[in-house]
Amino acid sequence: MNTPVLTELFFPSPAVSAIQFGPLTVRFYALAILTGIVIGTWLTARRLRERGGTTAQTLDIVMWAVPFGIVGGRLYHVITDNQLYFAPGRDPWGALRIWEGGLGIWGAVALGLVGAAIGARRTGVPFTAFVDAAAPGLLIAQALGRWGNWFNNELYGGPTDLPWKLQIYDMNQATGQALTGPDGAPVVLGYFQPTFLYESLWCLAAASLLMFLDRRYSLGAGSVFALYIVFYTAGRFVFELMRSDPANTILGLRVNTWVAALLFTAGLALFQVLRRRPRSAVTSSDAGTTPNNSPTTYSKGTLT
């Protein structure tokens, strides 16, 4: 009688993170980021129309916010993980190779807000109306962007035997290929907690909850974005505690763990200040023209 062979369960990772087309290298990390930007922009445009704005206004603002956000995200990553580029034996020029991965969400949001403020002012859209409209789309963009880390085999947690453990290859990020052993098979580093997946699912759940609360209650101008800060940082704090990749620490905790905790507190305080204000909207007087859609009226209740 043959003994059944039990197949080990795990979540696989790609052994390839880039495709070469002649002189052009297409990085899946970049495609994940771009997909998130496109879908996030689409949702933001739809939500801004509900507030009385137009798709054209959304696109005009996004054209300012995205470049600022990419620069801010890279700067934050390079500053907080400077040893990856400036430690002895490292390549300082790698700090410029953004396509190999490495964007800090805190820097991306901070400078992205600066770009959005410039774009909103130029288009005549109240800043709070845009950020409230953009908050769920931003979470979805982050959820999709995390799959770029999956392609790069990076940002995982500690070793685990859970059925959904993540198989990680030893990757050469410069070539976008997994290193191979003497048998020609990709070298497996081990099996770890899929923190990229946890964060992606958390962001999708937070985006859904944020849209529900925004429709169910009359949230004050700016308070939807404040809740975005609260929801995202609550999850990020937990995921940072789980991650095992090298990172700078303060008093034994990763820098991003401290940042998440501080921003969670700030977001909660900001929500308490803003939640009873009138709901954010774009009026004809803001843009100087009559918008395509009048603001949607919500009168189902107030969040307390």
Q: Who has greater pLDDT, 261 or 23?
A: 261
Of all residues in the chain, the percent with pLDDT exceeding 90 is: 68
| Residue 286 pLDDT level (bands cut at 50, 70, 90) | low
> 195-216 burial by CB neighbour count: b if 16+ within 10 A, else e?
bbbbbbebbbebbeebbeebee
Identify the weakest region by mean pLDDT among 96-100, 257-261, 292-296: 292-296
Residue 209: the pLDDT is 97
Each residue's pLDDT tens digit, 86-96: 878 777 877 77
Q: Is the alpha carbon torsion for 99, 104, 107, 109 positive or negative?
A: positive
Per 3-state DSSP, what percentage of the chain is helix, strand, and coil (rounded to 5)?
A: 55, 10, 35
Residue 56: the pLDDT is 97
| Residue 98 pLDDT level (bands cut at 50, 70, 90) | confident
The answer to whether 282 and 291 have CB atoms below 8 angstroms apart is yes
Given a cut of 70, whether residue 287 has pLDDT beyond it is no
Amino acid residing at 166: L
Distance CA 120, CA 177 (A): 42
Q: What is the mean pLDDT of residues 28-57?
A: 96
Q: Who has greater pLDDT, 170 or 91?
A: 170
Distance CA 139, CA 160 (A): 27
Distance CA 303, CA 115 (A): 30
The pTM assigned to this predicted structure is 0.86
The answer to whether 99 and 89 have CB atoms below 8 angstroms apart is no
The answer to whether 70 and 108 have CB atoms below 8 angstroms apart is yes
Q: What is the mean pLDDT of residues 251-278?
A: 94
Domain spans of the chain?
A: 28-287
